[in-house]
Structure 1
Amino acid sequence: MANSDDMNLLETGATDLSGCDFASADLSKRQLAGRDFSGANLSNANAEGADFSGCISSGASLHGMSADQFFRGHFDWVHVDQHHFF
């Protein structure tokens, strides 16, 4: 379950979300462009239709997220180094 403090940080529009816990969060259709998700836990999050354009996500955990979510989202120019999908 996502950390409530981290979800509140997301809601404020903060750009540095590195190390935050968004496990199983509903991020669908959110505008998340340009944010830093380095080392964040996005395991089992619903990101369908979310805009991750220009995000930094080095070392983020994406375990349990389906490839289908990525094809329906916007991931232009995302830095995708060292992801953990499985």
Structure 2
Amino acid sequence: MHERCPVCGLKFEREPGYFLGAMYFSYLLSILPGLAIVLAIWRVTGWPFDMVMGCAFVAYLPLVPAVTRWARVLWIYVDRHFDP
């Protein structure tokens, strides 16, 4: 990730540990798609729950980088809104 926005010059990481709050957004953004994947696999296959969870985990792994980036973006928006 760049230190500053190449367009407007906004400094992304305002202080050490700044993106700790983004972890919570990442968790929230992961719950609904993860639950949807679990339910879809379970309904389609009828496999035992532990097998469904393993498959859902593997199916969700490619989404992790995108979710992490979106969580950081949301965190920056929320932080800039409340603390300009």
Scaled to the shorter chain, the TM-score interval is: under 0.3
Higher relative contact order (CA 8 A, sep 6+): 2
The structure in which a higher percent of residues are helix is: 2
TM-score by length of 2: 0.20
